[in-house]
Structure 1
């Protein structure tokens, strides 16, 4: 079987570097090009791995590629995905999939019309604690799920994330989507109603950095999620992914980054967490590659990405109105 030729478009989102490291470690993959209008952002990795560089992503898309990985600013996801689809390339797109339901529908439609697959980057599905919890739920160990309490608290990312013109939203958009996808995945149900709070608490920026998102699923399950950028510089790591899953026969606690060592570094000047668990980004990228190589459906679809992002967008609507919003 020939190598899968993959290009990368934009390293605006830092996950691009992790995805690249995973791709170059796979003998069945050839990273055939990197496109980024900011050459300094990618020059070192392009030279290190001998990967052709393109300033214009359209030039990269004209090359002989099977797929692309898109890690641009959120507002460019739709433009880049649609262009890739029209060029006949499969797409792995960083989350959130888009910043409006309409553009996400257009992204999904463009991929279907051009016979290519669209996968949303939700690496949290590959965290060991999450995988084991999903298996425990499927075995019926806690009975039927009644409610879920989740967190995806992080540190303030700065840069374009704090510019709504480029990000489309702050913490509520950035961090709702990961754990909301996990909730959708665990429940196999759709969110019916959203009631949310979103405001600025921790930073002097004109963008939401704090929120609480309450949802009701169509199967009757209730859930609440804290997606705030509430971890300051003294916190040991960037954030967390947790879930308390309440069932009719028990409660399951998921601390996705608990596989860590505590490090007390004089150089760092604070305690730090050194994560030693499996690399979720590598599993994500590998699952994308394997699906394309074997002609199988990607495991996390564009529709999955749209469902999660739609909840975050409804959360902003609810916060503005001060009342629940139905999806």
Structure 2
């Protein structure tokens, strides 16, 4: 049985505690090192739950991972098979290009990037050096989200007309926040939160990048076609000392349907169901937090759907990587660069639109210059 050596670079993203657990628990994975990136902006409340210092301490102690002070030195020394990246979004390009040049596979935490030009740099680096580049989306391993795609493809609601997503909570470090482990976020002042990368524009923070990215992925996946244009709006409702938005919305045009995508960091409790797919003959209502799926039919009946069981390679990101290496079978297409560039192009257009107040075309490999 082959063993794959894995390093972790970046502990800014709150998903790392859950992601690290998946790799630590896989019998064919050896976690050989971890290191954080240097924060672009210093945090004020250092060591609070889900901040970068807390995350690296939690993971290194819980999963017995050696800690390095310099991530580039760690990669050069350890020469892992895979680098798991959970840095702030602004570092994704640099880490990907560094890993690719060293012949190391890369697993990027969502979103792939916050601009299509950055995503293309990452994809080109991986292709140039012949390494694997995958993007970890929690929705990929969610039975309900997979079931919705199955229902659309088999025609349960006829032609798709509209896709609506609303993703969010009180914020990554908001009151009551918990990210798939027992720890709950501690109260933070507005200044404390504003100093974290999440609320800093230069770091790739903001609710649009954090949550409209999910909508971009789900809408492209469920529509089954490339988007053509998008408009976006961003507002900073409650964290005014930071310069990134805490609420956002996008309106996306596809050739045969449209999508409404919302991202929020100011919503208390789970007050909404998402995604919702409206079709000619009914609607599919999912809940990304619970995985439950409901089918609303033309005759006004509602059926709770039993999700199809996922195959072992779709259990989690670690299992997917190992299965791919062991069998040579392709990764799920939502993890592949080609798929992610299409979804990123939607997010990119929405971000540009939010900045200039105009509807923006959704670019692609051929139309993105620079």
Band the TM-score falls in, shorter-chain normalisation? 0.7 to 0.9
- Confirm or deny that 1:229 pairs with 2:244: no
1:199 aligns with 235
* Corresponding residue for residue 26 of structure 2: 26
Aligned equivalents of 2:217 and 2:153: distance in 1?
Answer: 17
Matched, 1:154 2:169: yes
Mean CA deviation greater in 189-198 or 70-79: 189-198
Trace 1:171-320 onto structure 2 (pairs within 5 A).
171-204=207-240, 205-218=242-255, 220-231=256-267, 235-236=268-269, 242-258=274-290, 283-299=316-332, 300-320=335-355
Higher mean displacement: 68-77 or 306-315: 306-315
For structure 2, the 5+ residue unaligned runs are 38-51, 173-192, 293-309, 363-370
**2:114·2:347 contact (CA, 8 Å) conserved in 1?**
no
**Alignment partner, residue 126 of structure 1:** 141
CA deviations over 1:153-173 (Å, ceiling 9, x no partner)? 232234211011212x41111
Tell me, yes or no, if the aligned pair for 1:164 and 1:207 is still in contact at 8 Å. yes
Answer whether contact 1:153 1:240 (CA < 8 A) is retained.
no
Residue from 108, 131, 140 that aligns with 2:155: 140
Match of 2:65 in 1: 51
Give the superposition deviation at 1:21. Answer: 0.7
Structure 2 distance, partners of 1:252, 1:146, is: 12
1:42 has 2:56 as partner: yes
- The alpha carbon displacement at 1:61 in A equals 1.4
In structure 2, the partner of 1:263 is none
Mark the runs of 5 or more structure 1 residues left unpaired by the alignment.
261-277
CA contact (8 A) 1:162 1:170 kept: yes
Let me know the Cα RMSD of the aligned residues: 2.4
Change (3 A) 1:183 1:211: same
TM-aligned CA distance change 1:12 to 1:139, over 3 Å:
same
Evaluate the alpha carbon distance shift between residue 48 and residue 256 of structure 1 in structure 2; reply closer, same or farther with a 3 A threshold.
closer
Going from structure 1 to structure 2, the CA distance change for 1:323 and 1:102 (only over 3 Å counts) comes to: closer
Distance 2:74 2:273 in 1: 35
Distance 1:42 1:318, change over 3 A: closer
TM-fit CA distance, 1:52: 2.0
- Pairwise CA distance, 1:8: 0.8
- 1:308 Cα offset (Å): 2.4
- Cα offset, 1:240, TM superposition: 6.4
Which residue in 2 is equivalent to 1:275?
none
- Indicate conservation of the 8 Å contact 1:46/1:53, yes or no: yes
Separation in 1 of the partners of 2:64 and 2:358? 54
Is the CA contact (8 Å cut-off) linking 2:8 and 2:34 kept in structure 1?
Answer: yes
- 8 Å Cα contact 2:26/2:318 also seen in 1: no
Give the Cα separation in 2 of the matches to 1:240 and 1:118: 33
Separation in structure 1 between the aligned mates of residue 237 and residue 315 of structure 2, nearest angstrom: 34
Match of 2:206 in 1: 170
> Which of the pair is proportionally richer in strand?
1
Q: 1:301 to 1:156 in 2, by over 3 A?
A: same
Q: CA deviation at 1:108?
A: 0.4
TM-score (norm 2): 0.76
TM-score by length of 1: 0.85
**8 Å CA contact 1:117, 1:298 repeated in 2:** no
Cα separation, 1, equivalents of 2:213 and 2:58: 31
